[in-house]
């Protein structure tokens, strides 16, 4: 089995257009998001369960960027997400790729939290597409989340040919 990132990207042009569109939409929408939420009630994560649903696209610089909907205590917020992922050259003996990475979730008020990740990539039978199963450890944050901690679990899929990630993440954020 060849390394997933060494495979040719058959539709690289389409992926670059999608990345460019995401960059324009995300960067253009972010100031509007900030302006649209002045005085909005911040999610009090406390020790309550949190659900994050995100869609990301790989940038030409390497990381994946996108937006996540964050639900906690019956309140929803939007976060800009940056994900970095390091995938080994060959699968482990179990046939899975044992990847490591990190996330940064940035909210409109400037608060953020960061994670370190351990993610398994399982081949799906479709070239360049893998199922994801991982754990994220919250390592800290900024602003109102400066003391954030906790653990999250992630499931989803990644298409390395088209540079797309879609995941559901659940767990607890404590501050």
Sign of the Cα torsion 39, 41, 45, 50 reads: negative
Residue with tokens 């953020």: 112
pLDDT at 24 over 60: no
Contact 161, 11 (CB under 8 A): yes
Write out the residue range of the structural domain in which residue 47 sits.
4-174
Q: How far apart are the first and last CA of the chain?
A: 43
- For the stretch 102-136, pLDDT in tens is 999 999 889 999 999 999 999 999 999 999 999 99
Average confidence (pLDDT) over 148-154 = 89
- For the stretch 59-100, pLDDT in tens is 777 788 898 888 877 778 888 999 999 999 899 999 999 999
Among 80, 72, 89, 81, smallest CA distance to 6 is for 89
pLDDT at 20 over 50: no
DSSP classification of residue 41: P
Q: How many domains does the chain have?
A: 1
pLDDT at 26 over 80: no
């Amino acid at each position: 089995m060849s390394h997933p990132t060494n495979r040719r990207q058959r539709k690289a042009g389409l992926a670059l257009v999608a990345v460019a569109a995401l960059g324009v939409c995300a960067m253009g929408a972010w100031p509007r998001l900030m302006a649209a939420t002045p005085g909005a009630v911040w999610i009090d994560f406390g020790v309550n369960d949190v659900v994050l649903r995100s869609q990301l696209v790989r940038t030409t610089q390497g990381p994946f960027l996108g937006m996540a909907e964050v639900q906690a205590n019956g309140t929803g917020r939007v976060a800009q997400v940056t994900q970095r992922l390091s995938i080994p050259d060959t699968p482990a003996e179990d046939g899975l790729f044992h990847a490591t990475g990190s996330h940064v979730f940035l909210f409109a008020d400037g608060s953020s939290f960061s994670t370190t990740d351990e993610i398994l990539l399982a081949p799906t039978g479709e070239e360049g597409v893998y199922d994801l199963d991982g754990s994220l450890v919250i390592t800290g944050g900024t602003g109102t989340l400066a003391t954030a901690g906790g653990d999250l679990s992630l499931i989803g899929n990644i298409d390395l040919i088209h540079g797309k990630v879609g995941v559901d993440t659940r767990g607890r954020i404590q501050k």
